[in-house]
Chains A and B, each alone.
Chain A
């Protein structure tokens, strides 16, 4: 069922692209009819329960499964050693960022050493989920508890080793220093330098649907169908094949409705491998559904960095160099792209500013905690946070308004395409326009006046205004660039467009949605290309049997890479249809116009043939031009030449209760530029969710651990995901600077809100407190942190100057 209520965004343009078409995905999601992995009814399935280490670091001395095997309904129970023969290779890491990167061997179930709280040490299979869980409690494991490397800075010192057999916790050191001498020179000559240290706390991705897997052996031929709540059915199929030793052609991976991922389902997980290997071993379907508290340990976490950023500027605040040293928390093991996440931000620590000299170093460090990996923005929110907070620090140092220091440093509009000192080519931008738009929407002057008035009156309600101007690189990714970064795959995307005999259209997408609205957007693009109604376009995806090639959905890539492939395939269908139309109308192909799904002869519009008729003619193949193959179908694979670079400015306004430290976000303005917009309604939805998620990092969320490495935030009572009641209504604006990098002129908007909003909020908090002498503030900005900062500043009367 699809609803196509539309409302023109701009007016004037023909077709549906650019209109606020309602998402065709939503009726099933809102009515509960959408089927997630857990909803699948699979008769005869065994239920997997995973026994996890309660220690952050321990030697596994003995795993006693005898009691568990006697429990009602239990069919089998295994230790890590029992399953070693199932694996053709350890769990995969696809991004060895340096040649000498240390990669601890990682099996789905640990063999002799458990390296984080949640590391699997045994599994139980039973006839029901309840029986499996009951029996798991009967598994008796003897441990020798080892010292744990928990705190990131401490782990970096190698005082305690996260892996007993290793010599260092260092996974790698990755450097980007195109001209180190220029950086040194800039700092030596700088009139002003700023040196700041920030901590990116770990975050739990907390997708609405936890992970789930169900593997069904097919009755004949040794094939397996893998249902998984994943962002990456294609990559998963390849990696399952390699790791479990199953010929890839015998695996079909299906991602049914997927309830969010935010990067956490861009991975190959132990439970996916276990369900496959155990289905093979037991010759029965095997399934597993993650529990919410289990997800706090067993699903990757985001962020986890200590950032040192230095700016060298002249007396007017023109930044001449940026120097960054990161320590990045890998967690206990390298998951699929763990080591590469900080590197995705490596090129962007100078932000939207025209900075001539740049250097970046990242040290990846193992700790005895859940592995980190991609989380909405992946490296770019961290980069934006550091530069945007440092720019505010610079503004305070030279006594200039934060908006002004940004204006002075923006890459000018006429410098695009802009070759950055980090080595990227920024495609297009107008950063001044986005800042100006945001300041106007926020009534920035009025806010500053109110702030001054409140301070003059000594109001207990402190007002803070925070800015964040951002640029991100997305549309992952040009394959040749990925090769230069040692990533193990390419970055292209594949699509097929075919017309069925009745004139209906099927689109096959290699990108795999989990909430983004691909079906709606792809149908709009193809509808306009072919001149048909969007309702006549079906979009097939997320099943490797239907869509054999694809590189899936992450990194704000689906529209700029996958959408481009779809547009190219649709163009090829039109090209072929044009030849057939010319044949039937007996004119030259170039004498035909295509409008509203009909080819007509230029100057003689009565001589026309509709695309639907051509589809039927191509199907019957009774009268095709010589050499033309039957059917209207085309495939396209698009490998982008460059990333795309969305940008914008966000403004956060906070009110702080100086008695309690409570921070209320009272106003939020975002002006984003993602190039051309296919569906502004979907763009707004992405911006709304992205802002909420970034604000959450600033104010509420933290995966907290105790000193022994136990995670403390295992439920939504302790891990504070904000609800609508915590957030103001957002004021959104847009500028449109098309990307020259792809024919659609689009950029990507899935991560932008998350990237921009975190520093905007923390800058607003510091802005509210700076006059009291508070300049540093860690995340999340809890009321207690704010109260302590204010209290400490009050006790230090001289702290008011800086």
Chain B
């Protein structure tokens, strides 16, 4: 019979596996701020959402069965400040052409370079690609998988839908998605040399 300290040490020796899970498989993050409203932290919500992010598609896209798509929500390190984490939606991938929201730093069209993506919040608050341009996909840390808190909205991430109440989250998301798709040319424009 092992002593108590020996048994505790035996339990603690599994800790690296838990940390490795957090690094490589999935992580839980609390989302602050309004920038992803109404997907996360919808306007009247008194709590801040806690979201489960899966690591695989972000850290090893070449090995993953479902790569990052336009419309996926990712969390990434801010390109302008390595200590800041952002939660944003992928609007365009490499090779696409984007018309930024006009009030920001990038007038005209932007061609997304290889390995980069254009990310935006659902609310036009500005700390997204409209301010800092296309971001490298290597900055992505995880893809949002589901909401784990608050209990009223546990489960899948809300998706756009045309059915339902006029001010429901799916309808509002659908309106935003329409606006987004108008500004993206998927695959870009073939330019004559």
A-B interaction: no
